[in-house]
Amino acid sequence: MEVATGAGRSIPDVPLVALSGACVHFGAVRALDGVSLSVSAGECVGLMGHNGAGKSTAVNVINGGLTPTDGEVRYGHEDGKNGTGVARARACGIRSVFQELSLCPNLSVLENLRVPHRDLTGFGWRRTAAGRIAGALDEIFPGHRIQPGMIVGDLTLAERQMVEIAAGFAGGPTPPRLVILDEPTSSLDASIARQLLDHVRRFCTNGGAVIFISHMLGEVFEVASRIDVMKDGKIIASRPASEFTQQGLIDAMGHVAAEKTAARATVESSQRIGEEVLKTPEGLNARKGEVVGLAGLAGHGQAEALARYFMSRSGKPGRVKDPEVAFVAGDRGRDGVMPLWSILQNLTLTHLPSLTRRGLVDAVAEQALGADWKKRIGIRTDNLDNLILSLSGGNQQKVLFARALASTAPIVVMDDPMRGVDVGTKQEAYDMIRTEAANGRTFLWYSTETEEVRQCDRVFVFRNGQISAELTGDGITEENILAASFQMQGAGA
Amino acid sequence: MNGKYRILLPVLSLTVLLAAVFYLQPRAMSYFGLNLLFNLAVPIALATIAQMMIIMVNDIDLSVGTFVSFVACVTATFLNDAPLIGVAILLASILAYAAIGALIHIRQLPAIVVTLGMSFVWGGLAVLLLPSPGGAAPAWIRTVMTVKPPLVPMAVVACILIAGLTHLLIMRSSTGTLLRAVGGNAQAVARSGWSVTKLKAGAYALAGVFGVLAGVCLVGLTTSADANIALRYTLLSIAGVILGGGEFTGGRVSPVGAVLGALTLALAGSFLSFMRLSPDWQIGAQGAILILVLAVRLIFSRRGRKWKGAENG
Amino acid sequence: MDNSRLSTVLAIPRRPWFWAFAASAIAYFATLSLTEGRGGGELLSAALTFASFSAIVGLGQMFVITLGPGNVDLSIPATMTLAGTLSLKFMDGAAALILPGLALALAVGIGAGIFNYLLIRLLRIPPIIATLSASFLYQSLAIWWNRGLRIKPPEALADFSTGSLAGLPNLTIIGVLIALMSWVVLERSLFGRWVSAFGQNTRAARLSGIPVETVRAVTYIASAVLASFTGYLLASFSGGAALNMGTEYLLISIAVVVIGGCSIAGGNSNVPGIWGGALLMFLVVSMLNSYGFGAGVRLIMTGAIIIAIVAAASGKGRSA
């Protein structure tokens, strides 16, 4: 089918974008491992996969934000003026609407269009911009109440998302040919999500193409003509949507041949677990000696729930010597590591108040604590006075574990602590957590990996900032977690 | 805070202050009185706009005061004696501003320290030019600054012009929009393929332009210059931007508000002298007004944020 | 054993403070070469005396800057002036009131520090604007208090502040003692660890259980107290408090921190460097003076040094 845009000659059957064997490596991590994928005019591709399956990396390669380390990206509408990266992709009509909002909150709705639309200059540009964005908003979301002159920062989250979507579809110097929507409905209510889905279908019927990423299975089935399932940086299934069922899709995303992890030490859990020691407004609760998991797709409120709980129970100057809670960060750079410090200084930070005399740090006691934990947790270094950044990621993570466990805090909060950690270290960490739990410590453990979640005694699954399921014992299975993470019934929340 | 109401606070504070001045000294409500009240506010307003350009891109300029002093010295010496060389020096100094902006962004330097260093440099150049107070204002500047338009005094006309033109430039034009976008979300701007370095250099160059205008105007009013003539402007200009509803981060600035903020600060001094309060409290009153306005603003924004719920912590 | 000592010696040039001292030495000998070595002792003594003031306020500023980006105390000059004026007027030349006068000066510092912190915390404004607006108030308070009258310090205090012990100016001894104390606090104490952690990564510090708000409050109070103490000493040294006595210390306090090799990005402080920077600031000025350069060139050089050091240092530091 011809692209109904009128902007230049388009040859039928030439895909708008084609990846062949694209690989992206971040250090040792293979975020994209030989992906071949093409999108033609009129197609709506549902891109599915669990956290870290490589969806966003694939999207970034398509929109020019990342250059693949290996393999090739080709666009269907190259106009010869080959810019590079983002500019080149835009010139070919590729637009992306990101999950994290990329609007400028200080500008008005129409002014925000100025940033991507380079042709908006000169006298009367505001009228042109207002026309474009209002046209797109009217077309996609009839009945919306957004004026082009409104400041984006004053809009609600849903309205901002609507603006962002409309900007993706708005006509400009090059018309949109392929629009990538990454979780576009995450903050839209049902009726507005409905309008968007209708528009996506209309857009594709008229010769546009869409890549649609969503955790709402119903939505995906409703709009997608083809579904590509990603796992571990590869596309493992690519079939017309009609050949999938919802259950089949969930199975495809999960472990195809689920390797059985070692039987959990559930036997003694009954005698280990004591009275309830914490309860949060969201409905999280945990008992003494219990390992409580928080699961679900990334970004559905688990980390926020943990942070809120931790913040409310710590930071009081009077209690630094016996803290109520300790924290193990997963995002080491943002939340954990002190980059200018040695391993030892990083390790002892939380417990340090108990190692001081008259305000001065007892260097001998600090060394002893460091040596003790180095042995217990197996930090691979010949000298604890080396800089923390000289360690590998996994060993840095061990230091952060030791920082929390060395304290006397009865509750330990862990925010996806195994990110980028190798298998061996993971096993050591599991053992450690079990030993500590047996000694009466309580763990709150957010993880994006099912294997880790299965180490827990009880699991809360989060969706859209709320607890959508509570699983215990044998009920903690990948299937149950996935089912509670994805919205099964129809479109909309 | 809601964008539409951002301008209300500076308007309100200026109105209240002006009403108080008129109440205490009804004779100020005349052509001559207004001119006297606002005369020295013109260069302050221009310097505040210069500061606003920098704050707009999330930086801060500690060298505005010494830069304006330097420009004043150039104006009272070269621009008067050898206009061509004078103009060339002023253009070069604007280029220097742009270069500093680019340097700060490319090397990711803290603007506060680099502009602090530049304040020494500008101050040193000013001392080299005019070791002791002196020089003379070029006649044409005198003429411009002392023009007596009908009905409304020059100072008021000038302030309205400054506010109007910068509003068009920053708030309405497409280039101004892009500059504000850098302050709002530099990552999004870069992701759309713009050079943030060039945009930042542009913002700094604009700051240089308005700094030059401030210095030239100042000499037009005072007829001579000295190397320390405008040192107070650094702090006044920061305070003016904030009073005018600007914020330190996020590209939230308002040129009209900045001019109003500068007028409010300039008026605070006159107000106190009319109150027969000792001039000792002039600076203190500026500080107190600043704190007061920030407190009022906090209450406003708290209200605005209430619907978001349990974020208070 | 010998080997390790050698490597220690070799490591010295890699210390950030080394260059500040090396440059100071060059400036010192360059000045002396003009007089063929005469007046070396006087120059050194003057440098040590005047650098003490910059060093003490610089140490306070260093604590604040170590808290990380955006943290800077612009109220130092006003606090100095206020403490100097108030305490000298209170003592009114009476020797018996020297210690109560000192207590008053320090109380001014504590008050100013608490006020600064409360503005930052309660109004949720950046420290720059909070300390700036507070400094306007302090300045006015100082003007109003003594209306520019110059009250002489008590004789004994003036003698002490200009005197010396075993060849070392008393002020230098005080300045070095404060530097030593600061070093112990930063390198050996729990609070120093917390300050450094705050500056490296405030979020991670909070998540490690550090009471970050307490750390910030104490730091701003410490900076104000050091400023008020300097104001007291400077007023005594120069025979009375002047209303503009603090002005030049705003820029100097930041400059010595930068020159001394502290990271503006936070977390990394450097006590010896503060003294190096303070000496350098004075010696460069006196060198340019003795070579006949005017105030203009001196200022330009100072600015150029600051920018060059920051631009050169940015390559490393921040990437971590």
- Give the mutation candidate from C67, C71, C133 for the B interface (greatest B CB count, under 10 A): C133
The residues in B 4-23 lying below 8 A from A, measured between CB atoms, are 4
Report CB contact under 8 Å: C265, B110: yes
Q: Do A87 and B187 touch (CB under 8 A)?
A: no
| Residue C229 falls inside a structural domain | yes
Give the largest CA-CA distance in chain C: 64
The verdict on residue C32 lying in a domain is no
Q: Is A79 helix (H, G, I), strand (E, B) or coil?
A: coil
Q: What is the C-alpha to C-alpha distance for residues B45 and B65, in angstroms, rounded to an integer? A: 12
Domain assignment present for residue B311? The answer is no
Touching subunits of A (3+ CB pairs, under 8 Å) are B, C
Q: B313 in a domain, yes or no? A: no
Domain made up of A269-485: CATH architecture: 3-Layer(aba) Sandwich (3.40)
Closest CA to C20 of C310, C273, C286, C320: C273
**Length in residues, chain B:** 313
How far apart (Å, rounded) are the C-alpha atoms in residues B109 and C311? 7
Q: What residues are paired with C83 via a beta bridge? A: none
Q: Which chains touch B (3 or more CB pairs under 8 A)?
A: A, C
Proportion of chain A in helix, strand, coil states, percent, rounded to 5 = 35, 20, 40
Show Cβ contacts of residue B299 under 8 Å, excluding neighbours closer than 6 positions: none
Q: Where are the domains of chain A?
A: 17-253, 269-485
B38 in helix, strand or coil? helix
A17-253 and A269-485 share one CATH topology?
yes
The architecture that CATH gives domain A17-253 is 3-Layer(aba) Sandwich (3.40)
- Res B65: pLDDT: 94
Residue A491 DSSP one-character state:
S
In three-state secondary structure terms, C41 is helix
C207 SS3 class? helix
SS3 letters across B222-290: HCCECCCCCCCHHHHHHHHHHHCCCCCCCCCCCHHHHHHHHHHHHHHHHHHHHCCCCCCHHHHHHHHHH
Q: How far is the alpha carbon of B308 from chain A, nearest alpha carbon, in Å?
A: 10
pLDDT of B145-174, one tens digit each?
888 888 888 888 999 999 999 999 999 999
CA atoms within 13 Å, Cβ hemisphere of C144 = 15
Q: Give chain C positions within 8 Å (CB) of A308.
A: none
Residue A472, exposed/middle/buried by CB under 10 A (0-12, 13-18, 19+)? exposed
The count of structural domains within chain B is 1
Determine, for residues B178 and A114 on separate chains, whether the beta-carbon distance falls below 8 Å.
Answer: yes
Domain that holds residue C184: 17-27+40-314
Two structure tokens written together for A369: 């604590």
> Is C95 inside any structural domain?
yes
Give me the pLDDT at residue B1, please.
42
C-alpha span between C122 and C283 (Å, rounded): 42
* Option in A104, A118, A125 nearest B251 (CB): A104
Q: Is residue C139 part of a domain?
A: yes
Q: What pLDDT score was predicted for residue A250?
A: 78
Name which of A317, A329, A340 is nearest C267 (Cβ-Cβ): A340
pLDDT value of residue B206:
97
Which structural domain, as residue segments, surrounds residue B135? Answer: 3-301
Residue with tokens 């915390």: C121
Contact C288, C304 (CB under 8 A): no
How far apart CA B128 and CA B66 sit, in angstroms, is 13
- Residue C291 belongs to a domain: yes
Does residue A238 sit in helix, strand or coil? strand
Spell out which chain A residues touch chain C, with contact meaning CB-CB distance below 8 angstroms.
310-311, 314-317, 320, 323, 325-327, 329, 334-341, 345, 349-350, 352-353, 356, 359-361, 363, 389, 403, 407, 409
- Asked if C191's CB is within 8 angstroms of A316's CB, the reply is no
Question: Tell me, what DSSP letter sits at residue A71?
Answer: E
What ipTM describes this predicted complex? 0.85
Q: Is residue B231 part of a domain?
A: yes
Note whether C58 and C278 are within 8 A (CB).
Answer: yes
Q: Which residue of A has its CA nearest to C265?
A: A340
In chain B, what residues touch C306 (CB-CB under 8 Å)?
113, 116-117, 120
Question: Is B251 in CB contact (< 8 Å) with chain A?
Answer: yes
CA distance A288 to A311: 20
Q: For chain A, state the CA radius of gyration.
A: 25
pLDDT per residue rounded down to tens, chain A (493 residues)? 333 443 334 445 678 888 888 888 876 667 888 889 889 999 999 998 876 678 888 888 898 888 888 888 888 877 666 567 777 888 888 888 876 668 899 999 999 999 888 888 888 899 999 999 999 999 999 988 899 999 998 888 788 889 999 999 988 878 899 999 988 887 787 788 889 999 999 999 998 999 998 877 888 888 999 999 988 888 888 989 888 887 788 777 765 434 444 444 444 556 667 788 888 888 888 888 889 999 887 778 888 888 889 988 887 888 888 888 999 988 888 888 998 899 999 999 999 999 988 889 999 999 999 999 988 888 888 888 988 888 877 788 889 999 999 999 999 999 888 876 776 777 888 888 888 888 889 999 998 777 788 888 899 998 888 888 888 888 888 788 888 887 665 444 3
Say what the alpha-carbon torsion angle A60, A63, A67, A70 is, to the nearest 10 degrees: 80
- Whether the CB of C183 is below 8 Å from some CB of chain A: the reply is no
User: Are residues B135 and B227 in contact, defined by beta-carbon separation less than 8 angstroms?
Assistant: no
Query: Tokens in use for A203?
Result: 């857009």
Orientation of helix B83-106 relative to helix B196-222, angle to 10° = 140
Nearest to A106 among B2, B184, B194 (CB): B184
What is the identity of the amino acid at B249? T
**Structure-token match 């041949």, residue found:** A257
Report d(CA C275, CA C259) in Å as an integer: 10
Tell if the CB–CB gap between A361 and C213 is shorter than 8 Å: no
Distance CA B164, CA B161 (A): 5
Which CATH number do you get for residue C208? 1.10.3470
Instruction: List Cβ neighbours of C106 (8 Å cut-off, separation of 6 or more).
Output: C83, C225, C228, C229, C232
Q: Answer whether B180 sits within 8 Å of A106, measured CB to CB.
A: yes
Q: What is the pLDDT of residues C200-233, one digit of tens each?
A: 999 999 999 999 999 999 999 999 999 999 999 9
- For residue B210, what is the domain's CATH number? 1.10.3470
C126 located within any domain: yes
Alpha helices per DSSP H over A92-148: 109-112, 125-140
Nearest Cα neighbor of C161 from C88, C89, C79, C244 is C88
First CA to last CA distance, chain C: 33
Residues of B in contact with A154 (CB under 8 A): 2-3
Name the 3-class secondary structure at C14. helix
Q: Are A428 and A373 contacting, i.e. CB atoms less than 8 angstroms apart?
A: no
- pLDDT for C133: 87
Backbone angles phi, psi at C120, to 5 degrees: -60, -45
Is there a domain that residue C2 lies in? no
Paired sense of beta strands A44-49 and A226-231, if any: parallel
Asked if C204 lies within 8 A of A335 by C-beta distance, the reply is: yes
Who among B175, B184, B194 is closest to A104 (CB)?
B184
* Residues contacting C313, CB < 8 A, separation 6+: C261, C263
For β-strands A94-97 and A178-182, DSSP reports them as: parallel
Pick from C233, C282, C269, C245: nearest CA to C59: C269
Instruction: Pick A34 or C16 by higher pLDDT.
Output: A34
pLDDT in tens, C152-204: 899 899 999 988 888 889 999 999 999 999 999 999 999 999 999 999 999 99
Q: Identify the DSSP state of A448.
A: S
End-to-end CA distance of chain B: 19
Q: Is A110:A71 a contact under the CB 8 Å cutoff?
A: no
State both tokens at B285.
């009153």
Q: Which residues of chain B have pLDDT under 50?
A: 1-2, 306-313
CA contacts within 13 A on the Cβ side of A112: 31
Q: Evaluate the CA torsion angle C257, C261, C267, C272 in order and state its sign.
A: negative
Alpha-carbon distance of C22 to C280, in angstroms, equals: 9
Q: Which residues pair with A38 in a beta bridge?
A: A18
- Domains in chain C: how many in total? 1
Among residues A326, A294, A331, the alpha carbon closest in space to that of A310 is found at A326
Touching chains, C (3+ CB pairs < 8 A): A, B
In a domain, C320, yes or no: no
CB C194 within 8 A of CB C187: no
Q: Which residues make Cβ contacts (< 8 Å) with residue C145, sequence separation at least 6? A: C82, C85, C86, C89
Cβ distance of C267 and A338 shorter than 8 Å: yes
Instruction: Supply the pLDDT for residue A118.
Output: 84
Contact A418, A329 (CB under 8 A): no
Tokens of A371: 């040596």
Q: Could you read off the pLDDT of C92-149 as tens digits, one per residue?
A: 888 889 999 999 999 999 999 999 999 999 988 888 889 988 998 998 888 888 776 7
pLDDT of residue C270: 84
Return the structure tokens found at B5: 């109401």
